[in-house]
Structure 1
Amino acid sequence: MTLDLAGDPVALTTTLVDFRSESGTEQPLADEVERALGALNSLTVARDGDTVVARTDLGRSHRIILAGHLDTVPIAGNVPSRRDGDLLYGCGTSDMKSGLAVALHLAATVPDPAFDLTVVAYDNEEVEASKNGLGRVSRNHPEWLAADFAVLLEPTDGTVEGGCQGTLRAQVTTHGKRAHSARSWHGVNAIHGAAEILNRLTAYTAREIDIDGCLYREGLNAVGISGGVAGNVIPDRCDVTVNFRFAPDRTEKDAEEHVREVFEGFEVTVTDSAPGALPGLSSPAAVSFVEALDVPVQAKLGWTDVARFATLGVPAVNFGPGDPNLAHQAGEYVDVRKITDAAAALRRYLTAG
């Protein structure tokens, strides 16, 4: 499949969705994105692994980044895409190949932007933070991400979403003693011991906090449980995996301390963590962006790579055509009118300055 960046962004979204790119398998799509961007005389294209970065060099006083990830969650019988009226169904339609299509389309069709433009198409966003392509580029080539403002085209349903939640995963472990299940009184059942972990989660009251007019809702939930040795053995270990989505006024250290406090008395092992990002909507670049688009502003409930841009000192917001509530669903879809609207809004912003 070839990508027509200059054509209809809805058609480009369809092609991107039909181009399978589950996390870790992005290379063929990255190859085609690199080829398509490289064919544009206005851009200098570079690559790190399966992350492609294209930049203008027009001597403008400010530089804007448009960024989106290439990968999707595992396909669930929802590729190839299908169209039903104004709805385009398929894996990644909302999260976030529609947003990626808008970024690539604008790179090809705004030859004289008011800003210098950097477009980043990166790999492995949907898996653990250590594999994230944008994170890898920030370590290997931070100069590629130097900018005055960044727009991450994650699904926001056409609103501007400020900041993002942090995320932490941990294993909470119980230990017991093995025994034959016919003589269970000789053992201690570690799976039964996990009941108290689940009771604490059930009773947990999640915090809500308003930061700069954006309401963030936290959540602490079990997302997995494993234990057991054999059908006739009392298990001596049980692991409950929990995920804490925390508001951006907490640091990763704060979040870890909170999780350890909730599960005091149990063994807690943090397996993955990424910081949140404050809304940052008071920066002049963000104010200008919100005024130019004239759309509602709210908190991003979820983790996105605006946190990486914040770490680099680049103000960033989330803005994309997909609906975040549909992300990762087998019935995922995008309203194609939102793709057209997002492309038009960003075109106005990029050309007006």
Structure 2
Amino acid sequence: MADPRTSRPALDLSADAVAITQAICDVWSVSGEERELADLIVDALADAPHLELIRDGDCVVARTNLGRDRRVVIAGHIDTVPVNDNLPTRFENVDGRRWLRGRGTVDMKAGVAMQLKLARELADPIADITWMWYDHEEVGADRNGLGRLARNRPDLFRGDFAILGEPSNGQVEGGCNGTLRVELRATGRRSHSARSWVGVNAIHKLAPALERLAAFEAETVTVDGLDYREGLSAVGVSGGIAGNVIPDEAVVVVNYRFAPSRSVDDAIAYVRAIFPEYELTVTDAAEGARPGLDDPLAQQFVRAVGAEARPKYGWTDVARFSAMGIPAVNFGPGDPMLAHADDERVDCDEILASERALRAWLTGGA
């Protein structure tokens, strides 16, 4: 098989959104390796007279400056999780539908592709638009390219409404759950495993925590009319130094996905209350975002694209916009259940339908 990291020709944004999706998916851009794709995006938009281009690392911003009364920010990340023998992309037919299969097709290069096509073609939208394509979304929040851009150029985030192209099956998903990752640490005393009664086994001391996690029942919390399902899960366990030593330390990593009605501090307090006997270390945390669907622009968008408003269970960067006072929703092609899967694939008709809906709203045709 050819090396999927082979350099690609220039992006042709006059092609349809499906072809653009395939082209950018076949450009290797695992988190930390987005430069080639960022370069291709800049080259593809460089001669568009209606766009001002700005670059911050491997984050590319393209915006109109038409003096409109309103400004919409439309964003998408260009990185993917690691490839697992699922590049280059390929088309397949399933149940009479045409799918594009491969890493990034769902999360979220189909959304980016339709955005790139519209950015190139919409010279006279009804609102000024700031397009943002950013790096490092699929890793820790401290490396997120949108967060870095907000720190370096907060002026670029002026807007009345924001749309993030995360996969939502072509529907509108309001807000997002928050996320918290913590380490629960148990300590013991080392000894030779042949004399295990001399030591205290730290791994065994994790058993109560694992039992509580296995028995946890996810709560559904209604926030502004949308039902957010929470989750509390063990996502990693470590401990032990050798096959003949009783371990004196063991750690279970726990991920709590919490409704946007809770703050990060609320979430930490909640987890501490469940595991009071363990040393708890927070390793990553991000606030959720309330739906924001009571905003008139958000309501207009939902009506215009003919979508059904739903909750977003996973964390997305709508939370960053929400924190800056900008109502934001998720809207993009692709089934979130297939994100990061080895058989990741997107319905080609859904890409085209999502692009048509967004185009209609941005041109006043809806």
Per the normalisation by structure 1, the TM-score is 0.99
* C-alpha distance in 2 between matches for 1:49 and 1:16: 19
Matching of residues 30-109 of structure 1 within 5 Å: 30-85=38-93, 86-109=98-121
Q: Which residue of 2 aligns with 1:326?
A: 338
2:264 is aligned with 1:252: yes
Q: Which residue of 1 aligns with 2:33?
A: 25
Q: What is the DSSP-based 3-state SS (H/G/I as helix, E as strand, rest coil) of the residue aligned with 1:298? A: strand
Superposed CA deviations along residues 240-298 of structure 1, whole A, max 9, x for unmatched, are 00000000000000001001111111101000000000000000110111111111111
Moved runs in structure 1, 4+ residues, more than 6 A?
A: none
* C-alpha distance in 2 between matches for 1:34 and 1:242: 39
Matching of residues 119-198 of structure 1 within 5 Å: 119-198=131-210
What is the Cα deviation at residue 205 of structure 1? 2.1
Query: Is the Cα contact below 8 Å between 1:4 and 1:12 reproduced in 2?
Result: yes
Superposed CA deviations along residues 314-350 of structure 1, whole A, max 9, x for unmatched, are 1110000111010000000000000100110001000
Paired amino acid for 1:189 = N
Paired amino acid for 1:93 = T
Per the normalisation by structure 2, the TM-score is 0.95
* C-alpha distance in 1 between matches for 2:341 and 2:308: 25
Paired amino acid for 2:314 = G
Q: Which residue of 2 aligns with 1:208?
A: 220
Q: Which residue of 1 aligns with 2:5?
A: none
Q: What is the DSSP-based 3-state SS (H/G/I as helix, E as strand, rest coil) of the residue aligned with 2:254? A: strand
* C-alpha distance in 1 between matches for 2:22 and 2:60: 20
Size of the alignment, in residue pairs?
A: 353
* C-alpha distance in 2 between matches for 1:100 and 1:150: 15
Query: Is the Cα contact below 8 Å between 1:213 and 1:298 reproduced in 2?
Result: no
Q: What is the DSSP-based 3-state SS (H/G/I as helix, E as strand, rest coil) of the residue aligned with 1:64? A: strand
Q: What is the DSSP-based 3-state SS (H/G/I as helix, E as strand, rest coil) of the residue aligned with 1:255? A: helix
Q: What is the DSSP-based 3-state SS (H/G/I as helix, E as strand, rest coil) of the residue aligned with 2:179? A: strand
What is the Cα deviation at residue 212 of structure 1? 2.1
* C-alpha distance in 1 between matches for 2:109 and 2:32: 16
Q: Which residue of 1 aligns with 2:4?
A: none
Matching of residues 216-227 of structure 1 within 5 Å: 216-227=228-239
Q: What is the DSSP-based 3-state SS (H/G/I as helix, E as strand, rest coil) of the residue aligned with 1:47? A: strand
Q: What 5-or-longer segments of structure 1 have no aligned partner?
A: none
2:14 is aligned with 1:6: yes
* C-alpha distance in 1 between matches for 2:53 and 2:133: 11
